[in-house]
Amino acid sequence: MLSHGGPVLWLLLIISAVAVAVFIERFLHCHRAQINSTEFLNGIRTVLKRDNPVEALSICDATPGPVSRLVRIAILHREEGRERVREALEEAGAAEVPRLEEKLSLLATIAQLAPLIGLLGTMLGFIQTFSRMQEAGLNAHVGLLSSGIWQALVCAAAGLAVSIPAHAAYNYLVIRVNAIVLDMERSATEIVRIVTETAKPPPAP
């Protein structure tokens, strides 16, 4: 059946392979980025209460994901006051979000373009069918016209078959990214409180 799809079908197969590769890469990235932030912050709090920022930084370096990077920024600025820590976290968070959303627009574009590419294949198939009908005139028969009809139907179905999973994959990844961003915001609020509580007071003049 696929052999009847024509060149447009091969284009759809290529972009479907790209969509699968993007989804797998983004899924693994989100999986690595999402950690148990509550447990992680509790460990950081315990270490900082022992006045051991070096160990806290080592824990951050050993933990993947944007939350650990935000916590690391907060620890590095812990002696500069609450407001400076907040500013540093806002700057770091603004840099982390694009990393999470990277390539999602490509997946959304594939989901939107696939049915249009399938429609193009459908139109080309019908053009081929009517061209052969015109050439054959009254002698046209089903066998002569079937290849164009096959191409039209296969391309239309293939376009939908690529678009539907791509839409689902895009929405799933958006939900995962939003969950990670929300976790980042909560963790940022918590780490500000932690570093403020555990920071050394400035020396008396």
Domain residues for the domain of 60 are 2-198
9 part of a folded domain: yes
* Locus of tokens 């969509």: 19
* Residue range 147-185, pLDDT digits in tens: 777 788 888 899 999 999 999 999 999 999 999 999 999
Give the count of domains, the chain.
1
Q: Are 155 and 12 in contact (CB under 8 A)?
A: yes
Q: Are 148 and 132 in contact (CB under 8 A)?
A: yes
204 part of a folded domain: no
* Residue range 113-146, pLDDT digits in tens: 999 999 998 888 888 877 777 776 666 666 666 7
Q: Are 87 and 76 in contact (CB under 8 A)?
A: no
Q: Residue 120 and residue 102: Cα distance in Å, rounded? A: 29
